[in-house]
Structure 1
Amino acid sequence: MDFTAMPYETCSTWNFRELRFALTVIFTIEEINKDPTLLPGTTLGYRLYNGCGSENLIRAAIEALNGKREHCSGQIIGLLGHSSSGVSQYINYILSPLSVPHLSHLSTCACLSNKKIYPTFFRTVPSDFFQVTGLLQLMKYFDWRWVGIIYSPELYAYEGTENFIKLSKQYGICVEYYQEYSKTSKPTLVVEALKTSSSKVVILFMGFSYTYSFFSVFEGYNITDKQFIGSESWISQTKLASRERRSMLQGAMGFAIPDVKVPGLREYLLRLNPLKEPQSEIVKTVWGHIFGCAFTPSNTSTMCTGSEDLLTTPNQYTAFTDLRTESNVYNAVYSFAHALHSLLQCKNRLNPTTGNACVSKTEVRPKDVLEHLHYVNFTTNNDARVFFDENGDPASHYDLVNWQIHRNDSAEIVTIGLYRTSSLEGENLQILDSKITWGGGNNKVVRSVCREPCPLGTRKAINKNRPVCCFDCFECPEGTISNQTDSPNCLTCPPEFWPNESKDKCLSKPTEYLSYKEIMGTLLTIFSCIGVFLSLLVLIIFFTHKETPIVKANNSELSFLLLLSLKLCFLCSLTFIGRPSEWSCKLRHTAFGITFVLCLSCVLGKTMLVVLAFRATLPSNNMMKKFGPLQQRLSVVIFTSVQVVICILWLSTNPPFPKENMKYYKEKIILECDVGSAVGFWAVLGYIGCLALLCFILAFLARKLPDTFNEAKLITFSMLIFCAVWITFIPAYVSSPGKFTVAVEIFAILASSFGLLICIFAPKCYIILFKPEKNSKKQMRVKLKSRS
């Protein structure tokens, strides 16, 4: 619009809402003029302009600028209006250069808060910026993170939609689509967006007339599965509630201007009557429009009498359930009155509010009133507190309302919560969930998300090609968990913990060790006990037959000591079973090392005795005399003492200790005995190996001696088994995992012990028990003679 010509537009319909605004101005001014404490000695006047047609709006602005005042002897102190943000924007362009205060009751565009562009603009309705933040908090409250927006081609709707989209990212909310709806163009794109979109929540950012048109057009498209969220311009307007639209409006929700009751205003508005204002052509025209009559003779209408009853005839003028916006008009008029009152309260030639020089009633200028509007702070007769911030905006208060259609098709707009920006953080939005009726045919809160939150045990990954709300969910890697929904990262469990199956909790890792209760541990224990039993049985047999030649011929003293040491070898294997502890770790390896050396010392003593006994039959050889019973005992003690010294050094420097092995298995802990000093461990095994090798060599050399000394063959075979077992043990021990390492070691102990027991003593027991005739001196001489 270039303002080079005075446009004209003929009014085709009446906006009864705007008529109520005009009557509210008159009601408020009359109330102020009756108040002896506010503006004493001063009377407020007014001029009302028809909002139909741009020329009337521009005319009001121009009159404020040039001072033209028809039928008015007072000063113009400011301008009240308009309802539309776009119209208020243009009016303020005209008023600002001359500092004329401009106060609106319904222009909500956040852009009007910019004091650099609109320095004289004030309003008694909250800025849409606060409505947008309220809507975003509402989305977050119900977890609506995937929404669509339909807006009208108005400054109010453009700015509101833009601010919503701009701030939505801060709240984690995504806009699936934003589509403009126009009264003149085909709604194809809007229909497609509503029917194909996955978002269930639709925000209608529109002025009232566009919303009325929207529901009228779409009532035939059977769109009933959406939860509509309305802006304050239409959400509390019951005029929308036709029978056809009610299925779409059911459950609609949005923020409305607080329903503040103005005492006497409802009654005043319902007293509208042309008989009380016979000079008003507007009232007569409205009356005729409501009742379909005329005050002048007409062929198409009946004559109006003025006695018609507004309350008994359904009409759009009285079709209001509340006077939310009218209360803002009421506050706006009072704001001008209090600013003027503050300006005229002068003492000692200086104004107490601003400190400027006093002015008289005839000297009042619009810019003086503008200056005092910044300091307005009062409470109205209905207990509403009115003040303006640095941007000319009031305190931001909203009621959260909900459309509820009852069975008798009556529509009720129920207040279900409130939004107050002045409240503490986190308490701005208060909602009574139990009072809500939901849209889309739902009996519970609507779900509107692009992707359901990532469950526990998964992590959230942003997809760069899609909106942030349309993320991907990936299962946490092995060894990690996520214990909250939409977790951006997976947490690594501490070393001694491992995730459960759902990967939402770290559990203590199960411990593994060779237990007596499991099958393998039980079997090894049984075999160990069998070995002890057999050793004891052989000992008993040998002891009961100790005077027989076969026992005497094979050195009964070393045999008894060998059987005792074998029994200890079987018993020491039991120390390897069970939960490792500090004492068991030290005991198992040292006991194993010492008992086996004791065992091999006895075998070595018997082998040496065989070799020396054969050598003693040769001429001039007295070795047997030098290797008597005392020397045999000393050899056993010396050989065993070496191992004892090695074990003492090992235990005193770096002994074995219990250890939790978490490296071999990720999901469990192996309880094992760390050998401590590897040198000590392999020294013990190495010494055992040296003795075993020495025994094998000596026994092998003496294997072909006469049958009387036949034990050399048995020792050779037993040492062959012993060496084979322990040579195989080394790689098996190194490569076996967890408790199997211990099982391999026990198996080696038992196998080598059984080898010695069976190979050395089984043939002798067989002769003693089943072939006693061979166990005699005579039989042994015969065998010796045949050999010789």
Structure 2
Amino acid sequence: MVFAIKEINENPAVLPNITLGFKIYDCCYSEIRALEGTFWLLSQWQSKDAKSSCGIRSLPSAILGALPSKSSLPMARILGIFRYPQISYGSGNPSLSDKTQFPSFFRTVPNDKFQPIAVAQLTKYFGWKWIGILASENEVGEIGSQALKREIISRGSCIAFLETLPIHNFKWKIPHLIDIIKRSSSKVIVLYSTIEPLIPLLDEVTLEGITGKVWIGTTTWTISSDFSQQELLKTLNGSLGIALQRGEIPGFRDFLYSIHPFKFPDGIFFTEFWETAFGCQWPKVNFTESGSGSKVKVCTGMEKVDEIDNSLFDTYIFRYTYSSYIATHSLGHALHNMLSCHSKELPSANVSCSNINDILPWQVIHYLKRVHFKTTTGHDVYFNENGDIPASYDILNWQLFPNGTSRYYNVGKFDSVGYPEGDIKINENTIWWNGETPEVPQSVCSENCVPGYRKATRQGEPICCFDCIVCSKGEIANQTGEKSCLKCPKELKPNDQRVKCIQKLSEVLSYEDSLGAALAAVNCVFTGITANILCVFVRNKETPIVKANNRGLSYILLFSLMLCFLCALIFIGQPTGLTCLLRQAAFGLVFSVAISCILAKTVIVIIAFRATQPGSNLRKWLGIRLPSSVVFGCTLIQILICSGWLLLSPPFPESDMESGEGTITLQCNDGSVTAFWSMLGYMGLLATISLVVAFLARNLPDNFNDARYITFSMLVFASVWLSFIPAYLSTKGRYPVAVEVFAILASSAGMLICIFFPKCYIILLRPHLNSRSQGMGSAKLINKKY
């Protein structure tokens, strides 16, 4: 302040022909002393300062101070009543911005409401998600820590713990706090506290050997010189903190180094400063020894100020020093503007712009609100409507050198000019972390989920604590730390790592794969067998066993079974519009013909043996066209079902993208599910009737009786198709088609084997049984029985 007043007085552009003076009162960080000094300064209104070179007036135009908020608050309440201007160079309490309570208060340090924002942005910048907070048990810590907690949570991070540091009688709580710090997985701890309780806490942290933590400080202690122990400095090595903006003051260092008690004999602070800085005492009356009996070093005046450690002397830090500097210049510019009538709107028409003796305090407030100037280093200074300057903080890194010396290194800046929520810039290359590692320490409750996994919050824990769950089928997570997985489009599928969607492979029951080739081969084999059996029957058409039960029906049945085997081949291969139309209709028609033939053969067996009873006119009544009528009538109903199906809702080819796992199934859509199951149901009805009729005729003589074989064939048919229904409904992809092909193959083979293999056995291997005498023997047995 003294240096700034000296600059103003020597500057001809500011307050020309006017010399500023000052009075200093040390309030010693005490609220009571601050009020006492305030009243002392204001009570000098009528007195003349005998030592003043001008002797005009001794009432200050404004009061600069105090440094701590606890001292400025009671001062501001008193000065606000009288509208007396007050400019603090260190009080950041947010409540001081309330102009209804403190209308005459200004400050050249940022409002403390920006400190939580700056710290929260700092933690977000480095990606720290799991943060501990230790707050002093006073207004600074309690209000600030709650604001910090809100800011951290609003940016997506979480609070690992929030504990208070008692200002008094703190020893009982230190073990509890040490235990919390040890057990917590948080690597970042914010010390939102005044300096008093921090020293014993950090001493204990050092004794316990707690390492690997990043301590973050606020403006209340970041640049404190109270930490002197070497071991404690090692604990704080690599810590970060926010501090008031540092500004260069040209010529100030030389001014400080020129200070000497001999040069300022009336300076009440110089002798005390000299004794404290150099550890000596000025000679006094009867001054020989200290209380301990040892001689005390005597101050000689030859000591050099530039040899004082920078950590103890403010020439290196320039924080509150700079705030005091711009506070003094702000008042100087306000007085200059007022006396020069630079404001377009005068506070009072009765005030003479050039008469310094008529200045009233509230007029100074008017011009302070409109102060706007640049310092010699280009710093823009002005006050907003709340009497605050724009918030700006330096980001400091505490660095300990191998030789034991330490320093605060400026590694970034927080600025609110042009940014409502502030903006932070960091030079990471200049940061030393604890242990001198270049890598940024990690502080998370749970490690980020790698691609392919999503976060699953643990019940009852903060959102930063989670488990990593692999993405579900059909979903991916292509970035680290995804909260949810993305579903792939229908035509795509996730890769094995579930980090990207890839094209699905087309799947179809084709002749190229083993399953399709095997089914096709077996069908072809049975088609050949059926054709050979038909040839055998044609070549032996005049034999009794072929003629029995209507050889024409046998030919039709064999031909329809051959078509059944062949129609199964339509199901294999890539579906087209034509094959989709033919598949189910052809299968339903040829099977209906086959089962109708079996039903007709069963009816003929019953008629043949019932007609041999005496007086029976059954054969004459039914006629010889009965088999043809049965086959035609039963097949006609199936023709009508299939025709209506193909006309009203025909099957068509489609690509099924959902049923197959990771594949696109090329298949035929049946069109009408009702028609499909109606076709199968009608076949089942024919088979059931044939089974019942054949079962009733099972006890007739064996030689020319097909009823027993027909019964077995229908049992096989029923078993196959009853098993087909659940198998068909429960499979996906190409397997439903494979199940249907297998059902066609198995049921056709069952009918072929059960009905025709015994006959072929007799024709080819037991030809002596294929004679009329065998048939006549059977007729006699029938006559005897009935």
TM-score over 0.5 (shorter chain): yes
Q: Structure 1's 574 and 426: CA in aligned 2 closer, same or farther, altered over 3 A? A: farther
Q: Is the 8 A contact 2:206 2:231 kept in 1?
A: yes
Q: Equivalent residue for 2:113?
A: 129
3-state SS of the aligned residue for 1:188?
coil
Q: Mapping of 1:287-686 within 5 angstroms?
A: 287-291=274-278, 292-294=280-282, 296=284, 298-300=287-289, 304-312=299-307, 314=309, 318=313, 320-346=315-341, 351-354=343-346, 356-357=348-349, 358-359=351-352, 360-424=355-419, 428-439=423-434, 444-450=439-445, 456-461=453-458, 463=460, 468=462, 473=467, 483=477, 524-544=519-539, 558-576=553-571, 583-603=578-598, 640-656=635-651, 674=670, 676-678=672-674, 681-682=677-678, 685-686=681-682
Correspondence for 2:784: none
The 1:696–1:323 alpha-carbon spacing in structure 2 relative to 1, beyond 3 Å, is closer
Match of 2:772 in 1: 780
Match of 1:252 among 231, 239, 246: 239
Distance change >3 Å, CA 283–CA 316, structure 1 → 2: farther
Which residue identity does 2:374 align to in structure 1?
T
Percent identity between matched residues is 30
Does the alignment pair 1:100 with 2:84? Answer: yes
Q: If the length of structure 1 is used for normalisation, what is the TM-score?
A: 0.80
Could you tell me which amino acid in structure 2 is paired with residue 459 of structure 1? A
The CA deviation at 1:748 is 4.6
Q: Deviations over 1:389-448 (max 9, x none)?
A: 121111111111101112222212112211112244787112223322223787643344
Q: Match of 1:73, as an amino acid?
A: I
Change (3 A) 1:717 1:682: farther
Measure, in 2, the Cα distance between the counterparts of 1:579 and 1:246: 78
**1:262 equivalent among 249, 269, 278:** 249
Letter in 1 for 2:77: Y
1:318-352 Cα offsets, whole Å, 9 max, x none, are 464231221111110111011111211238xxx51
Structure 2 counterpart of 1:21: none
The verdict on how the C-alpha distance between 1:283 and 1:214 changes in structure 2, with shifts beyond 3 A counting, is: farther
The 1:85–1:30 alpha-carbon spacing in structure 2 relative to 1, beyond 3 Å, is same
3-state SS of the aligned residue for 1:232?
A: coil
- Provide, for residues 685-718 of structure 1, a one-character-per-residue CA deviation record: whole Å limited to 9, x for no partner: 426744773697489769858x9xx54x12x234
SS in 1 for 2:429: helix
What amino acid sits opposite 1:417 in the alignment? G
Is the 1:181–1:190 contact (alpha carbons within 8 Å) kept by the matching residues of 2?
no
Amino acid at match of 1:89: L
More displaced 10-residue stretch of structure 1: 357-366 or 487-496: 487-496
> Which residue of structure 2 aligns with residue 179 of structure 1?
164
Task: Answer yes or no: is the 8 Å Cα contact 1:438–1:445 preserved in 2.
Answer: yes
CA contact (8 A) 2:86 2:104 kept: yes
Gaps of 5+ in 1: 1-24
Match of 2:72 among 88, 92, 95: 88
* 8 Å contact kept, 1:109–1:155: no
Aligned counterparts of 1:625 and 1:162: Cα–Cα separation in 2: 106
Distance 1:607 1:212 in 2: 107
CA distance in 1: counterparts of 2:497 and 2:48, whole angstroms: 80
**Structure 2: distance between partners of 1:160 and 1:605:** 98
Distance change >3 Å, CA 516–CA 160, structure 1 → 2 = same
Distance 1:307 1:377, change over 3 A: same
- The residue aligned with 1:202 is 189
Distance (whole Å) between structure 1 residues aligned to residue 29 and residue 768 of structure 2: 142
Partner of 1:11: none
Query: What SS does structure 2 have at the residue aligned with 1:562?
Result: helix
CA distance in 2, matches of 1:676, 1:702: 39
In the other structure, the counterpart of 1:10 is none
Contact 2:596–2:686, Cα closer than 8 Å, also in 1 = no
Contact 1:460–1:487 (Cα < 8 Å) also in 2: no
Conserved? CA contact 1:241–1:249, under 8 Å: no
Q: Which residue of the partner structure matches residue 719 of structure 2? A: 728
Aligned residues: 748
AA matched with 1:428: D
Q: Is the 8 A contact 1:397 1:421 kept in 2?
A: yes
Q: Secondary structure at the match of 2:264?
A: coil
1:141 Cα deviation after fit: 2.8
Matches within 5 A, 1:5-16: none
Report the residue type matching 2:715 in the other structure. Answer: A
Determine the structure 1 residue equivalent to 2:730: 738
**Mapping of 1:757-768 within 5 angstroms?**
757-768=752-763
Q: Tell me the alpha carbon deviations over residues 171-230 of structure 1, each in whole angstroms, 9 at most, x when there is no partner.
A: 443261322244x63523124302333143332334456656665676444343432111
Q: Is the 8 A contact 1:239 1:316 kept in 2?
A: no
* Amino acid paired to 2:239: A
Instruction: List per-residue Cα deviations over 1:717-765 (Å, max 9, x = no partner).
Output: 3421243234435643443342376666545533442343234433443
* 8 Å contact kept, 1:403–1:414: yes
**1:116 is aligned to 2:100:** yes
Distance 1:154 1:748 in 2: 84
- Structure 1 pair 303–605 and aligned structure 2 pair: CA distance change class (3 A): closer
The question of whether the paired residues in 1 share the 8 Å contact of 2:27 and 2:37 is answered with no
Paired letter, 2:344 = P
Separation (CA, whole Å) in 2 of partners of 1:490 and 1:505: 11
What pairs with 1:41-52 in structure 2 (closer than 5 Å)?
41-52=17-28
Q: Is the 8 A contact 2:129 2:444 kept in 1?
A: yes
Find the partner of 2:39 among 57, 62, 65.
Answer: 62
Give the superposition deviation at 1:256.
1.3
Give the match's secondary structure for 1:38. Answer: coil
TM-score by length of structure 2 reads 0.81
In structure 2, the partner of 1:17 is none
Instruction: Using the TM superposition, give the Cα deviation of residue 774 of structure 1 relative to its aligned residue in structure 2, in angstroms.
Output: 6.3
2:749 aligned counterpart, secondary structure: helix
What's the offset of the Cα at 1:125? 0.6
The SS at the match of 1:401 is strand
Gaps of 5+ in 2: 290-295, 781-786
- The one-letter amino acid of 1:226's match is K
| 1:214-253 matches, cutoff 5 A | 215=202, 219-237=206-224, 240-253=227-240
Asked whether the 8 Å contact 2:244–2:319 carries over to 1, the reply is yes
Does residue 56 of structure 2 align to residue 73 of structure 1? yes
Q: 1:370 to 1:493 in 2, by over 3 A?
A: same
Compared CA separation, residues 283 and 420, structure 1 to 2 (3 A): same
| Distance of 2:740 and 2:468 partners within structure 1 | 44
Q: Contact 1:376 / 1:387 at 8 angstroms: preserved in 2?
A: yes
Q: CA deviation at 1:268?
A: 1.0
In structure 2, relative to structure 1, the CA distance for the partners of 1:550 and 1:489 (3 Å cut) is: closer
Which of residues 34, 37, 40 is equivalent to 2:13? 37
Letter in 2 for 1:51: C
Is the contact between residue 403 and residue 411 of structure 1 (CA under 8 Å) also seen in structure 2? Answer: yes
Give 1:702-717 correspondences, 5 Å limit: 711=704, 713-714=705-706, 716-717=707-708
Distance in 2 of aligned mates of 1:76 and 1:461:
63
Q: Does structure 2 conserve the Cα–Cα contact (< 8 Å) formed by 1:103 and 1:124?
A: yes
